[in-house]
Amino acid sequence: MNQLGDALARGAGSTFASDDDPELIRGALPFSLKLIESLLAESPRHPGLLLAASSGFTQYAYAFIQQDADEIEDRDLAAANALHDRARRLYLRARDYGLRGIEVRHPYFGKALRQNPTAALRAARSNDVALLYWTAASWGAAISISKDNPDLVADLPMVEALIDRAVALDETFDHGALHVFLISLETARPGGQGDPAARAKRHFERALELSGQNQVAPLVAYAEAVCVKKQDRTQFKSLLDRALAVNPDAAPQSRLVTLVLQRRARWLLGQEEELFVETENEKK
């Protein structure tokens, strides 16, 4: 059973990530995720399966549930709310798998994290970074669509502690994924030092350095999180146009992510009039 779990944890992610058909993956992922959960029922402390569950549920919820909800919100608010609720539940399931994965090496980590996030994370090491990232990403995503849930929003300091520790241990993880996450987090981080937009820009620039020219994630994240808040319509359009100009086949190992994020880029461009307040100069 453990050997099967090892093989599944190693192989499924890379096979899906290189696919060029997001709708095929939409249909296939639920079976894969339930298979992982079935194997976890037999091997509940398998670190590879726990990581695969955390990352898999996070990506499925973001790419296919939250995005669907965002796209229909203007037309059918009730249906969008139902999809956002479903995405939230999946994100929290992913978070719980991530916490379980960390607890394999660090017993009672979840309890310690709630008591003192900084102290709980001192024991984390570089081989924990993937689980730290996916736990933070899923938790942060749940918070981002739960602004009316103060109990969940109050968990933000734990998300900050997780991602800050991951950056301290290996800031180059997954071609800059930590910095992409921080682009959005810095705009919502309470009590951070200096200008949030300036902090986000530093992470954006570092993410571009680490990811190269064929990754769209930094472009979409900065356009959505920073340009909208600054009401910089020109840069918003420029970054999203750059994202759409990327050839998904230029980086086959991340082809699916590119296609998913290009879908979000197109949706964001379609929301431009709602996202930006028209100035007097633009009216003339």
Asked if 262 and 216 touch (Cβ cutoff 8 Å), the reply is: yes
Q: What is the pLDDT of residues 172-194, one digit of tens each?
A: 999 999 999 999 999 988 777 77
Mean pLDDT (the chain, rounded)? 92
Residue with tokens 């993956």: 25
**Does residue 164 lie within any of the structural domains?**
no
Residue 11 clears pLDDT 70, i.e. is over it: no
Question: Which tokens in the block code for residue 199?
Answer: 């902090």
**Does residue 144 lie within any of the structural domains?**
no
Asked if 61 and 94 touch (Cβ cutoff 8 Å), the reply is: yes
Q: What is the pTM of this model?
A: 0.93
**Does residue 283 lie within any of the structural domains?**
no
Residue 33's pLDDT band, with cuts at 50, 70 and 90, is: very high
Q: What is the pLDDT of residues 118-161, one digit of tens each?
A: 999 999 999 999 999 999 999 999 999 998 999 999 999 999 99
What whole-number distance in Å separates Cα of residue 134 and Cα of residue 150?
Answer: 22
**Does residue 138 lie within any of the structural domains?**
no
Give yes or no: residues 118 and 215 share one domain: no
Question: Which tokens in the block code for residue 194?
Answer: 């200096």
Percent of the chain at pLDDT exceeding 90: 83
161-195 burial: b if 16+ Cβ within 10 Å, else e: bbbbbbbebbeebebbbbbbbbbbbbbbbeeeeee
Answer with the one of 100, 128, 156 that is the final residue of a domain: 128
Identify the burial level of 226 via C-beta atoms within 10 angstroms of its C-beta, where 0-12 means exposed, 13-18 middle and 19 or more buried.
buried
What whole-number distance in Å separates Cα of residue 207 and Cα of residue 183?
Answer: 9
| Cα three-residue angle 67-102-57, rounded to 5 degrees | 20
Give yes or no: residues 93 and 186 share one domain: no
Give yes or no: residues 9 and 109 share one domain: yes
Domain assignment of residue 52, given as a range: 1-128
Residue 284's pLDDT band, with cuts at 50, 70 and 90, is: very low
Looking at residue 27, what is its pLDDT? 95
Give yes or no: residues 180 and 120 share one domain: no
Residue 2's pLDDT band, with cuts at 50, 70 and 90, is: low
Specify the number of domains making up the chain.
2
Give yes or no: residues 93 and 209 share one domain: no
Give yes or no: residues 115 and 175 share one domain: no
Give yes or no: residues 189 and 261 share one domain: yes
Question: Which tokens in the block code for residue 152?
Answer: 């969940």
Asked if 181 and 137 touch (Cβ cutoff 8 Å), the reply is: yes
**Does residue 280 lie within any of the structural domains?**
no
Residue with tokens 């930590």: 178
* Greater model confidence, 15 or 62: 62
**How many C-beta atoms surround the C-beta of residue 10 within 10 A?**
11
Give yes or no: residues 6 and 60 share one domain: yes
Q: What is the CATH number of the domain that holds 206?
A: 1.25.40.920
Residue 10 clears pLDDT 80, i.e. is over it: no
Give yes or no: residues 245 and 178 share one domain: yes
Question: Which tokens in the block code for residue 214?
Answer: 């064929």
Give yes or no: residues 115 and 224 share one domain: no
Q: What is the pLDDT of residues 41-57, one digit of tens each?
A: 999 999 999 999 999 99
**Does residue 38 lie within any of the structural domains?**
yes
Question: Which tokens in the block code for residue 95?
Answer: 């978070």
Identify the burial level of 247 via C-beta atoms within 10 angstroms of its C-beta, where 0-12 means exposed, 13-18 middle and 19 or more buried.
exposed
Asked if 8 and 17 touch (Cβ cutoff 8 Å), the reply is: no
Residue 207 clears pLDDT 90, i.e. is over it: yes
**Does residue 198 lie within any of the structural domains?**
yes
